[in-house]
């Protein structure tokens, strides 16, 4: 196993057939490549679901061996200002493509981080160099992209991968890296990643560095997350109005796993729905989680706020 390789790059698909999930989007973009023509594209969706991967596959399949000369990848979160559009993008866009494809491709990642002025400059560049260049814009939130750019692009909205799709990726990596991953570990990977493939690959690589046999305990340890049953036990103590045991167990869990207050709140909110309690009380508990999370973001002491949250849960079930 090549330990120096970053698995997110090592296992990045190079053909449309290798891409897992996003079936409809892959089908439509593949049709553009087959026609050797395409409009400007806007990829919107959460992190780690294949936006960058699909862009690279489009470039590889369209330009073949000369794809690196005809493809420019920029990260807008690193260079947010208008200069990146006026200089780097404009210089690349104004020259003709190498080969028999009539245009180059510029991939602008995290373009929702561009300032409004930079987006206006980008709009003008897209207008002026349509004959020699196509843009693929990637963002987490399409609402942060100005309307003139959105109207010039075909918008594709990516979704999180399902558990079945994620399992297929995990099994592929396990086979190639000769790993043994039990079913509980696969489930834990999906729960922790929430559909983010990049996170799965990073956790797997970290786990494999110490042991080829990967278990549920290994996954939660590497991810620095409490196991769901530990959080559920804390909530059950609170529902029984056993504040001291709930507080002590929560503090112990936080120290053992190195969790922050916001990490704990997210896990508590998720596990509330698995409790055996009235729906109305579950809704009240989630509401309290939102209030406490807001206070912590504003700078309140997280331990005091989490204790207050457990105290409210105790009162709620009295």
The domain ranges of the chain are: 22-157, 163-223, 228-316
pLDDT at 313: 93
**Burial (0-12, 13-18, 19+ Cβ within 10 Å), 300:** middle
Architecture (CATH level 2) of domain 163-223: Orthogonal Bundle (1.10)
User: What pTM does this model have?
Assistant: 0.80
Q: For residue 170, what are the contacts with CB-CB under 8 A and spacing of at least 6?
A: 181, 186, 189, 200, 204
Residues 180-231: tens digit of each pLDDT:
998 888 888 888 888 888 888 888 888 888 788 888 888 888 887 888 888 9
Does residue 79 surpass a pLDDT of 70?
A: no
* Burial zone of 3 (CB within 10 Å; 0-12 exposed, 13-18 middle, 19+ buried): exposed
Mean pLDDT on 44-49: 90
pLDDT tens per residue, range 220-278: 888 878 888 889 999 999 999 999 999 999 999 888 888 888 889 988 998 898 888 88
Neighbours of 16 (CB within 10 A): 16
Question: What architecture is the 228-316 domain classified under in CATH?
Answer: Up-down Bundle (1.20)
Average pLDDT over residues 275-300: 91
> DSSP assignment of 300-315, as one string?
--HHHHHHHHHHHHHH
The residue-averaged pLDDT of 19-29 equals 90
In this predicted structure, the answer to whether residue 318 has a pLDDT above a threshold of 80 is no
Integer distance in angstroms from the first to the last C-alpha of the chain?
56
pLDDT given at position 261? 87
Tell me whether the CATH fold assigned to 22-157 matches the one assigned to 163-223.
Answer: no
**Mean pLDDT of all residues belonging to the chain:** 87
pLDDT at 82: 65
Is the model's pLDDT at 4 over the cut of 50?
Answer: no
Q: At what angle do helices 243-257 and 302-316 cross, to 10 degrees?
A: 140
At residue 84 the predicted structure's pLDDT band, cuts being 50, 70 and 90, is low
Question: Is residue 291 very low, low, confident or very high in pLDDT (cuts 50, 70, 90)?
Answer: very high
Tens of pLDDT, residues 109-136: 888 888 888 888 888 888 888 888 999 9
What pLDDT shows up at residue 1?
43
- pLDDT computed for residue 81 by the predictor: 58
Considering the segment(s) 22-157 as one domain, its CATH architecture is: 3-Layer(aba) Sandwich (3.40)
């Amino acid at each position: 196993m090549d330990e120096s390789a970053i698995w997110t790059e090592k296992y990045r698909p190079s053909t449309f057939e290798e891409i897992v999930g996003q079936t409809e989007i892959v089908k439509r973009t593949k049709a553009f490549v087959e026609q050797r023509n395409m409009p400007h594209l806007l990829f919107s969706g959460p992190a780690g679901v294949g936006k960058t991967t699909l862009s690279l596959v489009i470039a590889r399949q369209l330009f073949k061996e000369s794809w690196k000369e005809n493809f420019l990848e920029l990260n807008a979160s690193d260079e947010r200002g208008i200069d990146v559009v006026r200089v780097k993008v404009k210089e690349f866009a104004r020259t003709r493509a190498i080969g028999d494809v009539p245009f180059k491709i510029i991939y602008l990642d995290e373009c929702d981080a561009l300032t409004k002025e930079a987006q206006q400059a980008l709009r003008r560049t897209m207008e002026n160099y349509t004959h020699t260049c196509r843009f693929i814009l990637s963002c987490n939130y399409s609402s942060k992209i100005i309307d003139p750019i959105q109207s010039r692009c075909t918008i594709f909205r990516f979704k999180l991968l399902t558990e079945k799709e994620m399992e297929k990726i995990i099994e592929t990596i396990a086979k190639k890296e000769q790993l043994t991953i039990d079913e509980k570990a696969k489930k834990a990977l999906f729960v922790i990643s929430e559909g983010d493939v990049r996170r799965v690959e990073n956790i797997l690589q970290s786990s494999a560095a110490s042991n080829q046999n990967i278990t549920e305990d290994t996954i939660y340890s590497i991810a620095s997350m409490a196991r769901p049953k530990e959080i559920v036990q804390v909530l059950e103590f609170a529902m029984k109005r056993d504040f001291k045991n709930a507080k002590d167990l929560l503090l112990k869990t936080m120290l053992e796993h190195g969790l922050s207050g916001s990490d704990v709140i997210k896990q508590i909110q998720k596990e509330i729905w698995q409790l055996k309690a009235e729906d109305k009380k579950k809704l009240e508990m989630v509401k309290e989680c939102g209030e406490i999370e807001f206070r912590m973001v504003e700078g309140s002491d997280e331990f005091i706020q989490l204790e207050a949250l457990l105290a409210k849960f105790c009162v709620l079930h009295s």
